[in-house]
Chain A
Amino acid sequence: MAAPSLRVVEAGARVYRRTFRASIFSAFVNPALYLVAMGIGLGRLVDTSTSGPSLGLPYLAFLAPGLLAATAMQTGAGDASYPVMAGIKWRKSYQAILATPITVRDLIVGHLGWVTIRITLVTSIFAMFMVVFGATSAMQAAAAVPAAVLTGLVFAALVTGYTARLKDESGLANLFRFGIVPLFLFSGTFFPVEQLPALIRPIAYATPLWHGVSLARGLALPEVGFVANPAVSLAYLVGLAILGGYFAMRMFRKRLIL
């Protein structure tokens, strides 16, 4: 099982070598823009505000690990949406792959394996910027990366399965509009979920991003700690990633093995 899925990872890397220029730019520029605008610009206002509750730490330090996890989510969801639709429908490259000894299982494992490498790359660059801007120490930023990568993998797996069910790309726009963007805004990335009305809070607690943010923040800022039990978060995310992987395999079989 391992070797055939590695060939799918290898193919992903070869295609990426040809196309990385467009995405690597945003991988470097986005963290810088977000950390400057939100962390430093908005952060100055938040940190000097005297009314209302206080975070007890610089806003930049609070924000950065949350953004790290959210960036992983966006990368995972992004790589599992339009590119997967292209593989299934537009370019039919999955059809070409499945005509070889590669099975659906190999394909999904290899695809998610490659996306994991991509997320690792993007979040590592982000972590570097966190250190450069003084949001946390190098060791702690590095410790937060695996938590973010796991969060990204969960979304990659779930979105791959979701995309395989879609007839056309309009469902992808909805996924980002009604799924990824609200999660980005309300999962504790920009402010603690405790700021939300009590009625809505349980929804936030159920989202994978909230657990990912809690893990990343706890690891990046040991003095702040985890808002959720880290063992529960870890189990939840690992469980969802595995479940998502099986869901993706099922949907691929349904769509491609007719």
Chain B
Amino acid sequence: MSEPLVEARGLTKTFGDFTAVAGIDFEVQPGEAFGFLGPNGAGKSSTMRMIGTVSPVTSGHLTVLGLDPAADGPTIRARLGVVPQENNLDMELSVYENLLIYGRYFGLPRKEIDTRIKELLAFAQLEERAKDRVEPLSGGMKQRLLIARGLINTPDLLLLDEPTTGLDPQARHLLWDRLYRLKREGVTLIITTHYMDEAEQLCDRLVIMDKGAIVAEGSPRELIAAHSTREVLELRFPPGDEEDRAAERLQGIGSRIEVLPDRVLVYADDADEAEAQVRALGIMPEATVSRRSTLEDVFLHLTGRSLVD
């Protein structure tokens, strides 16, 4: 395997008494899409800011593109693309001017930027809006422009912090499609997200973070295989009804039972078979759903909590 693009050993970030990142280890290989999955406050963004060299490492070891963030910040940032969680485009300027100014911050010659902007506008499907001001663009368009801006310097590594938070489903799918394309072109991506579907769609490999620590690592498929069953049977009972009692009687069906506030989850390799066993016991839930296990189930199993509160 070639030299990793990012390597962290015991990486720690504290703010006063608060530990945001508690000694994590990970590596990102060239060409892969690497994800940090976890709920808000898990330490994903702090980790991302350290990789982006805009947040000093408290302790531990971190190299980005083989360089030391503390000593070589500008050199590293010249080869990074950053798509922030919050839109920080220049609202008064046009789509084109936003890209131009950003390219100039990298010291790129005007001609090179012009060529690059043409490609990026096509990529972001914003060609018709090039001369328009940014302010009235839709959320999805602004997000695509942010990604285009992050690519202006043809980075070796693109950092995306919660890239689809706040977008409607259609805009999210369009964005995923664009990111998938980048991935196929060989751009290395690091993505933070609290959406398990996003992590499953985009990440070759991911770490699950909780309270500043990494609780599991692997491909989405590996994580599900290691920490969950193939399928899940969801049982819904009338509110306040026999949920707890039913859960007790369900013991023994499948390999694990989780009682959530609104439903009971039965983890089994065959959900239909589990449902037959439930009904054989004379338990009659109001509704049942059988589905495949997701990363949400992995997170629930590892932390006892849901990803999105």
Using a CB–CB cutoff of 8 Å, the interface residues on chain A facing chain B are 3-4, 7-8, 10-11, 14-15, 18-19, 91-93, 95-103, 256-258
16 contacts across the A-B interface (CB closer than 8 A): A3-B107, A15-B92, A15-B101, A18-B92, A91-B90, A92-B84, A95-B84, A96-B89, A96-B102, A98-B54, A99-B54, A100-B77, A100-B105, A103-B74, A258-B15, A258-B49
Residue of A91, A95, A102, A256 near B105 (CB, 8 A) is A102
Using a CB–CB cutoff of 8 Å, the interface residues on chain B facing chain A are 15, 49, 52, 54-56, 73-75, 77-78, 80, 82, 84, 86, 88-93, 97, 100-102, 104-107, 149, 153
Q: Are A101 and B75 in contact (CB under 8 A)?
A: yes
Chain B residues whose C-beta falls within 8 Å of the C-beta of A99 in the assembled complex: 52, 54, 77, 80, 82, 84
Nearest Cβ in chain A — how far from B154, in angstroms?
13
Chain A residues whose C-beta falls within 8 Å of the C-beta of B88 in the assembled complex: 91-93, 95-96
Q: Are A14 and B101 in contact (CB under 8 A)?
A: yes
Chain A residues whose C-beta falls within 8 Å of the C-beta of B93 in the assembled complex: 14-15, 18
Mostly, the A contact residues are helix
Tally of A-B residue pairs with Cβ under 8 A? 73
Q: Are A257 and B105 in contact (CB under 8 A)?
A: no
Q: Are A103 and B73 in contact (CB under 8 A)?
A: yes
Nearest Cβ in chain B — how far from A253, in angstroms?
10
Chain A residues whose C-beta falls within 8 Å of the C-beta of B52 in the assembled complex: 99
Nearest Cβ in chain B — how far from A90, in angstroms?
10
Nearest Cβ in chain B — how far from A98, in angstroms?
6
Q: How far is the CA of A99 from the CA of B89 in the complex (A)?
A: 13
Residue of A8, A93, A256, A258 near B90 (CB, 8 A) is A93
Chain A residues whose C-beta falls within 8 Å of the C-beta of B91 in the assembled complex: 91
> Counting chain B CB atoms within 10 Å of each CB, which of A8, A14, A19 scores highest?
A14
Q: Which residue of A lies closest to B49 (CB)?
A: A258
Nearest Cβ in chain A — how far from B159, in angstroms?
9
Chain A residues whose C-beta falls within 8 Å of the C-beta of B49 in the assembled complex: 258
Q: Are A10 and B90 in contact (CB under 8 A)?
A: no
Chain B residues whose C-beta falls within 8 Å of the C-beta of A4 in the assembled complex: 74, 105, 107
Q: How far is the CA of A92 from the CA of B85 in the complex (A)?
A: 11
Q: How far is the CA of A18 from the CA of B80 in the complex (A)?
A: 29
Q: Are A101 and B106 in contact (CB under 8 A)?
A: yes
Q: Are A100 and B84 in contact (CB under 8 A)?
A: no
Q: How far is the CA of A3 from the CA of B105 in the complex (A)?
A: 10
Q: Are B104 and A92 in contact (CB under 8 A)?
A: no
Q: Which residue of A lies closest to B52 (CB)?
A: A99
Q: Are B92 and A96 in contact (CB under 8 A)?
A: no
Chain A to chain B: the 8 pairs with minimum beta-carbon distance, closest first: A92-B88, A100-B105, A99-B82, A101-B74, A96-B88, A101-B78, A11-B101, A101-B77
Chain A residues whose C-beta falls within 8 Å of the C-beta of B100 in the assembled complex: 14
Q: Are B105 and A11 in contact (CB under 8 A)?
A: yes
Q: How far is the CA of A3 from the CA of B104 in the complex (A)?
A: 11
Chain A residues whose C-beta falls within 8 Å of the C-beta of B78 in the assembled complex: 100-101
